[in-house]
Structure 1
């Protein structure tokens, strides 16, 4: 069984696309999978309760199937930082609760389990704890999704340094193009990627172009074509 925590350089860096793509790649190889999104804000009200589009994408790539609350135990409607969304709804997020939810799921020993964070590495859970502490408590290596845009080199290196300072191993990073204008100068774009490869202390697991906004299952399968699983998977 292999399990990883997926974080990003920022919100909208492409974490869900990378996470669902890695799960789709694992399924393509006949592996069992589970994608978890412990905390999700920006959920929509449905007849079945609050539902988050990113969570649904991970749920769709989990095999054997997982129910929604297994994948996302804490769902909030406001599309703001999780600790603020929780506060507005009268809920206090606590690291112990997330650990207690995740540990028995990790014990199922699926071939690949990915836990997707929210926003970047330093997103708070409450006034004292960060969501990244979940990776520390569960002793999970980290996959970093780098949103490829102006400033991404500094953001990526600072995030990698913070991960290392907190203790987890950086297992790999994925570049995800979020600003098509950033890639307009192809030579400069390649130079930026080369700098990331030279300065980040982990292997590159792939670089995603800007993919069409297709249904989540289609986007996950498309992303899988550009990715590789971390060593050992």
Structure 2
């Protein structure tokens, strides 16, 4: 299994949209796929319980089908930072708990798995831990979604510095155009390609309707060297 943690340069930069496109691209290349959203805030109350739109999108895009609770183990109603949403719900979530949930879901036979974070890289999970500790606990490399708008370069460089400082591998990044009128868009993307220490997996054009099938055609996963590997390679620390 090849498992990756997907994060973004900020919130609302299309992290889930890119994750769904990556899952579809993997399936197009003949790999089974699975997307997880271990913790989600801003969940809606339904007859089936709390549900998060990002987690539901990942479920629909995954070829390996799990229950909702296996995909989104911690669902929180308040639409804010996970540590605040958990506190409001009277819960305290830890990295060890989230890592355990993920390992259970990743025990399935699957070629390509994505674990989607929340917001950007530095998001508090509780009063002592940040969500960025989850990929380190799991031993998973990182894919960065860069939201292409004014300020994208600074956000991408700072996020990359933090990822590397945490001792994790950045194995690829995706440019997601969220501002169709961004000045010097191509020049900014070229700058990222020169400076970021990982390959660009693709550039997703402005797509207000968010068609993942079309978005997948703009991605190239060859740099990830996807090959079947034992799930035991995921750290059990």
TM-score by length of 1: 0.93
> Which of residues 201, 205, 209 in structure 1 aligns to 2:205?
209
Deviation string, structure 1 residues 42-93 (Cα, Å, up to 9, x no partner) = 1111111111111111001112211111100111111111111111110111
Tell me how far 1:181 sits from its aligned partner. 2.0
Tell me how far 1:108 sits from its aligned partner. 2.4
Superposition pairs for residues 34-49 of structure 1, below 5 Å?
A: 34-49=34-49
> Which of residues 210, 218, 221 in structure 1 aligns to 2:213?
221
Tell me how far 1:127 sits from its aligned partner. 1.1
Deviation string, structure 1 residues 118-147 (Cα, Å, up to 9, x no partner) = 000000101111111010011110000001
1:104 corresponds to 2:97: no
Superposition pairs for residues 87-126 of structure 1, below 5 Å?
A: 87-126=87-126
Equivalence for 2:231: none
How many pairs were matched up? 225
Equivalence for 2:187: 191
Superposition pairs for residues 10-29 of structure 1, below 5 Å?
A: 10-29=10-29
Tell me how far 1:174 sits from its aligned partner. 0.4
Unmatched 5+ residue regions in structure 1?
none
1:4 corresponds to 2:4: yes
Q: Secondary structure at the match of 2:119?
A: strand
Q: Secondary structure at the match of 1:213?
A: coil
Equivalence for 1:200: 196
Equivalence for 2:224: 231
Q: Secondary structure at the match of 1:85?
A: helix
Unmatched 5+ residue regions in structure 2?
227-237
Equivalence for 2:86: 86
Range that drifts further, 156-165 or 76-85: 76-85
Are 2:174 and 2:202, in contact at CA under 8 Å, matched by a contact in 1? yes
Q: Secondary structure at the match of 1:90?
A: coil
Q: Which runs of 4+ in 1 moved over 6 A?
A: none
Q: CA RMSD in A?
A: 1.2
